[in-house]
Homo-oligomer: A and B are copies of this chain.
């Protein structure tokens, strides 16, 4: 069976209608609402073909058709055409980024809120990836005898803090010496570049201060290496409850159980190719039973052209992909822009 232009028209009509109404679409409806110039009977024949091809399916014998996940995929790949955002929508986004904020966390939260408010789906925003951000400064604060607070500032403004234990006799002066050396040596490096050669340099540098040498190594090991996790903003869960597909509590539970587990969510987001612009994952394409009826639209935002983190939304498979893709794309650009502005010169 081959896909011809009319089949495409019919499929497009079915998907468009189903996205709008959430009800199975019948041949009559298509003939009436979408002007294909043929009778319902003809459309029925086409529908029968489309069903055989796997693009649509019937909930039960005497119902209309609904798009299958394959159908949505075909739609996303070949049929859908980007909807430009309305002036009103662009305005909302613009406004969202208008307020001047300087902390990276605030921008992340703001983006997430905006995204979920606009789309009415759950929104996910990841902070810039630590592996890709570079080292800016380390501060060692002696909290107590024996306890040191390590504060690492990355060039993205991200902070990592960590409390580690050290011998009681270590003084703040020792710590300052160490941080001085570390700052000099590590400045501008990405975390994954902090490797053996470098450690040797530091070792050499500090060899005049034999007494604190071990401490410094210990610090690097435990203070820097640990907790290199990115944070994830997740919000707008309430929104998805308004979607008719989530009137079934079981589905809500399934989705929520996944969203509450940050690692799962992370792996889901990371499965998206940072190279393509906006990635759409439909239902089972995500390979997770819990979200087999959900779709995900995500994109990476960039700083200096390098993809740094992911933003996106998760909702039912029945979503207005054309529009959601546009929103996510637009937000990604706005976010990239805002971040670049924030970090101008920090690199």
**Residues of A near any B CB (own CB < 8 A):** 102-103, 136-137, 139, 141, 143-145, 147, 149, 151, 153, 157, 159, 161-165, 235, 237-238, 241-242, 246-247, 249, 252-253, 256-257, 260, 345-346
Tell me, in angstroms, the Cα distance from A227 to B54 when the chains sit together: 54
Task: Please name the residue on chain B nearest to A247 by beta carbon.
Answer: B249
Q: Which of A102, A159, A165 has the most CB of B within 10 A?
A: A102
Chain B residues within 8 Å of A260, by CB:
235, 237-238
The listed residue (B102, B145, B242, B256) touching A163 by CB distance below 8 A is B102
Tell me, in angstroms, the Cα distance from A252 to B247 when the chains sit together: 11
Task: Please name the residue on chain B nearest to A151 by beta carbon.
Answer: B151
**Is A149 touching B143 in the complex (CB atoms < 8 A)?**
no
Tell me, in angstroms, the Cα distance from A103 to B238 when the chains sit together: 31
Tell me, in angstroms, the Cα distance from A241 to B246 when the chains sit together: 13
Chain B residues within 8 Å of A164, by CB:
102
User: Nearest-CB distance from A103 to chain B (Å)?
Assistant: 6
Tell me, in angstroms, the Cα distance from A260 to B153 when the chains sit together: 30
**Is B161 touching A345 in the complex (CB atoms < 8 A)?**
no
Task: Please name the residue on chain B nearest to A105 by beta carbon.
Answer: B161
Chain B residues within 8 Å of A102, by CB:
147, 162-165
Known: A249-B247, A252-B241. Contact between A159 and B161, CB under 8 A? yes
Tell me, in angstroms, the Cα distance from A143 to B153 when the chains sit together: 9
Tell me, in angstroms, the Cα distance from A79 to B139 when the chains sit together: 56
**Is A345 touching B241 in the complex (CB atoms < 8 A)?**
no
Tell me, in angstroms, the Cα distance from A24 to B334 when the chains sit together: 55
User: Nearest-CB distance from A299 to chain B (Å)?
Assistant: 24
Chain B residues within 8 Å of A139, by CB:
139, 141, 151
**Is B143 touching A103 in the complex (CB atoms < 8 A)?**
no
Tell me, in angstroms, the Cα distance from A253 to B144 when the chains sit together: 46
Tell me, in angstroms, the Cα distance from A161 to B235 when the chains sit together: 23
The 7 A-B pairs of least Cβ separation, nearest first, read A102-B163, A238-B256, A241-B253, A139-B139, A144-B345, A137-B141, A238-B257
